[in-house]
Structures are given as C-alpha cells and as structure tokens.
Amino acid sequence: MRPLVLSLALLPSLAVAQEAEGQRFQLERTDNGLVRLDRQTGAISLCREDNGTLSCRMAADERAAYEQELDLLEKRVSALEDQLEQGRVSRDLPGEAEIEQSLSIMERFMRRFMAIIEEFTAERDQQEQAPDRT
C-alpha cells in the first residue's frame, strides 16, 4: 500500500480543513513523528516527516483488519463470479406474463388512487359550497 504523502507546507491549511470537518482528524507529535487519529473511525496512522513531506501509514493492527476485509471481499466476488459461470444467477428479462401481471397491479393501483383523489376533491367542493351559518 502506498503511503499518504503530504507537504509540510500544507500543515497550516490542514488545520483549517480539520476544523471545517468538525475535528475529524487529530495530529499529535511523538518522538518518532506524528500520530493521526481519525475520530470518526478510530483508525490510527503513523506519520513521519521526511524532506519536507509528511508520510502516513496505517498502524499494524489497522493494516491486519484492512487485509482481512480485502480477503473477505475477494472471496465474496469469487463466489458471485462462480454463480454467474454456473448459471445460478438469472440475467433474463421478465416474460410477457410477468410484465402483464405487473401492469395489471399498477393499473389497479392507479384506478384506486384516482378514485381516492376524486373523493377528496368532491369533499372539498362540498365544503366550499356549504353556506356559512354563523
């Protein structure tokens, strides 16, 4: 994994960006460089200053969790690709019967919906035509 490289000249503007993000990241100096804490995820990155740039790498335990998640995702992708190859996942479009059934349901829905609208409109018209008896 490539380290994140930042110019040290950007550190003041980084502080402004941090404030704009609601203090998501916190940078702390250590004897060996900087530690960056992501306050939303809890991820910790170890950063070093080198030739005017700041390089950050994931901490060892974060890296292990990251690698584990990648392995899990690779297995899931492989399983889905196997299903596609074996034809267990259908790519077919719906048939005429399914389309007709869907349209029939939609037509019933729209007819019922329009009837409800007509009922409300009729009630409103009756209220507008009723004389004021006060």
Residue 96 CB neighbour total at 10 angstroms: 7
pLDDT for residue 2 is more than 60: no
Q: What pLDDT score does 5 carry?
A: 43
Q: What pLDDT score does 99 carry?
A: 95
Q: What pLDDT score does 8 carry?
A: 46
How far is residue 112's CA from residue 27's CA, in Å, rounded to a whole number? Answer: 61
How far is residue 59's CA from residue 65's CA, in Å, rounded to a whole number? Answer: 10
Tokens (6 digits) for 116: 């409800």
Q: Which of these, 41, 43, 45, 38, lies nearest to 24 by C-alpha position?
A: 38
Average pLDDT over residues 8-13: 47
Instruction: Report the sign of the C-alpha dihedral through residues 93, 95, 100, 102, in that order.
Output: negative
Question: How far, CA to CA in Å, does 114 sit from each of 101, 104, 107, 125, 126?
Answer: 20, 15, 11, 16, 18
pTM: 0.33
pLDDT higher for 59 or 118? 118
How far is residue 84's CA from residue 32's CA, in Å, rounded to a whole number? Answer: 50
Q: Write out pLDDT tens, residues 75-117.
A: 999 998 888 888 776 667 888 999 999 999 999 999 999 999 9
CB 39 within 8 A of CB 25: yes
How far is residue 15's CA from residue 13's CA, in Å, rounded to a whole number? Answer: 5
Q: Write out pLDDT tens, residues 26-68.
A: 888 888 788 888 888 777 888 888 888 878 887 776 777 888 8
